[in-house]
């Protein structure tokens, strides 16, 4: 395995813990079952000076051995490290894969994240809407069929997360009244794959019961594209769709490769390929296209409009209020306040200390604090959250967690200029954040007519068994094996 060349592109959690680490000269190995009868009784395995493996039989015959390939699925199933080595990533989630043969003959759908959109708009010094329309022209010229918006699927993620919290809060209160031990709260958001990988591999059963089961916007869009859009709108089978997402985070490549998001019946992943924001610049270069020279497409129309949060006249993009990582805290708090206490919350006031990546807010009813929410971004804050939960000293009911400092807008896959100073990059990040917040009209997911339509037609209503089956997932404790790579002396 080559030395890590892309580690800086992963979230801080995968960089700062032992998950993103391979000792130099060590090699990833994939266990392979070998029938004993196939192995000569006196053969030996030897290694050449160049690292090539071969088998020498008792007669002296020399036979080269084929190396076993390592995929992202193998990395996720491994109980040791998570590696970001180029040889793993490029083979499965890359521009080369996207441009390869796997998408040929299929309907191609691209889903664009709002954070990637803001980063690209900032890079090209244009508005988010202009960026979308130029990208639509670029992708259309490439023969790509549809451009969708993960702001749309995030509406589902926010609604499911909010309802899940209300259910947990009621259970929590029932358990308190009956003196029953409860592990339902605090509920921890689940949209960040770096945080999920860290929780599964490092804390397991201690933390997993607290994590929301709601899928991330990327994976909900995968579900919508492969199993609703394909069958109910364009009348194709899921395996006939090639679904690509553009994300601010390299950890999203790991998320898309989870076995939980692979359908054994149709032999297809919900998301076939994940490209980072920066890789879109690579794609433009590969196609020798100057984005700024492209015309802006006309108004979004048809299915693009249905799966893109945009006004009916096509003049404004629509988003949600709150953090640039999705606004989970704000929406869940407002929804819970109404459902649990019949209180309408218009504006949320935060208490922020010297650490800007940790903030908290409270809901008071008749002078009594009834809900306590927090937002924790970055590895240091996540460590503190986990420690307090384990010590039984966690007072919050809901925490929006993201692995990267400043959240998804600062994801490892976003466009960054390494030639700039630290201060200049901070200013660039602030510009991207400003574009994200200002160039979209806030709207509650409850007011999205297309979301209402899908809930009624496909899920038979809001928060039904059908929606839980399709829009939720599960997380798994992964045991670490004892090896020379992880022994602590």
Give CA separation, 58 vs 42, 44, 54, 62, 457, in Å.
5, 8, 13, 10, 68
Tell me the DSSP string of 314-355: SS-BEE-SS-TT--HHHHHHHHHHHHHH---------EE-S-
Burial grade of 96 (CB within 10 A; 0-12, 13-18, 19 or more)? exposed
Given a cut of 60, is residue 6 above it in pLDDT? no
Q: What is the pTM of this model?
A: 0.82
Higher pLDDT, 300 or 261: 261
What is the structure's pLDDT at 465? 94
- Domains of the chain are 7-83 (no CATH), 90-153+216-317+450-457 (3.40.50.1780), 158-215+321-442 (3.40.950.10)
The β-bridge relationship of strands 441-442 and 318-319 is parallel
Least confident of 22-26, 154-158, 261-265, 440-444: 22-26
| Residue among 117, 217, 111 nearest 159 (CA) | 217
What single DSSP character describes residue 460? S
Contact indicator for 130, 296 with CB cutoff of 8 Å: yes
Other CB atoms within a 10 A radius of the CB of residue 452 amount to: 14
Least confident of 38-42, 357-361, 412-416: 38-42
Averaged over 176-199, what is the pLDDT? Answer: 83
For 256, phi then psi, to 5°, come to -65, -20
Secondary structure class of 431 (helix, strand, coil): helix
For 287, phi then psi, to 5°, come to -90, 0
Give me 483's structure tokens.
């090896």
Q: What is the mean pLDDT of the chain?
A: 82
Q: Which pLDDT tens digit goes with each residue over 214-241?
A: 999 999 999 999 999 999 999 999 999 9
Query: Which residues are CB-neighbours of 159 under 8 A, at least 6 positions away?
Result: 335, 445, 446, 451, 462, 463
Burial 155-182 (b: 16+ CB within 10 A, else e): bbbbbbbbbbbbebbeebeeeeeeeeee
Given a cut of 70, is residue 47 above it in pLDDT? no
What is the structure's pLDDT at 419? 81
What single DSSP character describes residue 51? S
Q: Which pLDDT tens digit goes with each residue over 189-212?
A: 999 998 998 888 888 788 899 999
């Amino acid at each position: 395995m080559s030395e890590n060349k892309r580690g800086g592109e992963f979230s801080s959690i995968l960089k700062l813990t032992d998950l993103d680490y391979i000792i130099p000269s060590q090699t990833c190995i994939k266990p392979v079952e070998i029938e004993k009868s196939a192995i000569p009784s006196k053969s030996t395995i030897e290694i050449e000076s160049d690292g090539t493996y071969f088998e020498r039989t008792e007669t002296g015959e020399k036979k080269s051995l084929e190396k076993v390939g390592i995929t992202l699925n193998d990395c996720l199933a491994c109980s040791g490290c998570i590696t970001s080595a180029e040889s793993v990533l490029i083979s499965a989630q890359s521009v080369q894969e996207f441009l390869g043969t796997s998408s040929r003959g299929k309907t191609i759908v691209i889903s664009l994240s709002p954070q990637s959109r803001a980063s690209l708009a900032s890079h090209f010094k244009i508005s988010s809407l202009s960026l979308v329309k130029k990208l639509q022209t670029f992708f259309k010229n490439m023969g790509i069929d549809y451009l969708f918006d993960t702001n749309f699927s995030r509406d589902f993620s926010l609604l499911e997360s909010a309802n899940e919290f209300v259910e947990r809060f009621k259970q929590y209160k029932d358990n308190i009244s009956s003196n029953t031990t409860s592990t339902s709260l605090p509920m921890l958001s689940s949209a960040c794959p770096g945080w999920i990988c860290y929780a599964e591999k490092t804390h397991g059963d201690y933390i997993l019961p607290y994590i929301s089961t709601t899928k991330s916007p990327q994976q909900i869009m995968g579900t919508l594209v492969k199993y609703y859009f394909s069958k109910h709108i364009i009348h194709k089978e899921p395996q006939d769709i090639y679904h690509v997402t553009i994300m601010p985070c390299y950890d999203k490549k790991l998320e898309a490769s989870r076995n939980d998001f692979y359908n054994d019946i149709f032999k297809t992943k919900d998301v076939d390929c994940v490209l980072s924001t920066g890789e879109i610049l690579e794609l433009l270069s590969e196609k020798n296209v100057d984005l700024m020279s492209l015309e802006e497409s006309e108004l979004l129309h048809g299915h693009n409009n249905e799966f893109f949060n945009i006004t009916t006249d096509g003049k404004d993009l629509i988003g949600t209020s709150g953090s640039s990582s999705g606004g989970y805290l704000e929406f869940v708090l407002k929804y819970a306040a109404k459902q649990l206490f019949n209180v309408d919350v218009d504006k949320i006031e935060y208490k922020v200390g010297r650490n800007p990546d940790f903030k908290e807010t409270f809901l008071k009813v008749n002078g009594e604090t009834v809900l306590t929410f927090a937002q924790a971004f970055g590895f240091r804050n996540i460590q503190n959250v986990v420690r307090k939960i384990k010590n039984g000293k966690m007072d919050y009911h809901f925490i929006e967690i993201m692995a990267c400092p400043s959240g998804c807008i600062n994801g490892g896959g976003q466009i960054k200029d390494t030639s700039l100073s630290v201060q200049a990059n901070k200013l660039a990040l602030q510009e991207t954040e400003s574009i994200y917040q200002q160039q979209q009209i806030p709207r509650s997911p409850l007011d999205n007519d297309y979301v209402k339509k899908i809930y009624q037609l496909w899920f038979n209503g809001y928060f039904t068994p059908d929606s839980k089956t399709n829009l939720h997932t599960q997380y798994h404790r992964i045991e670490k094996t004892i090896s020379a790579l992880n022994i602590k002396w």
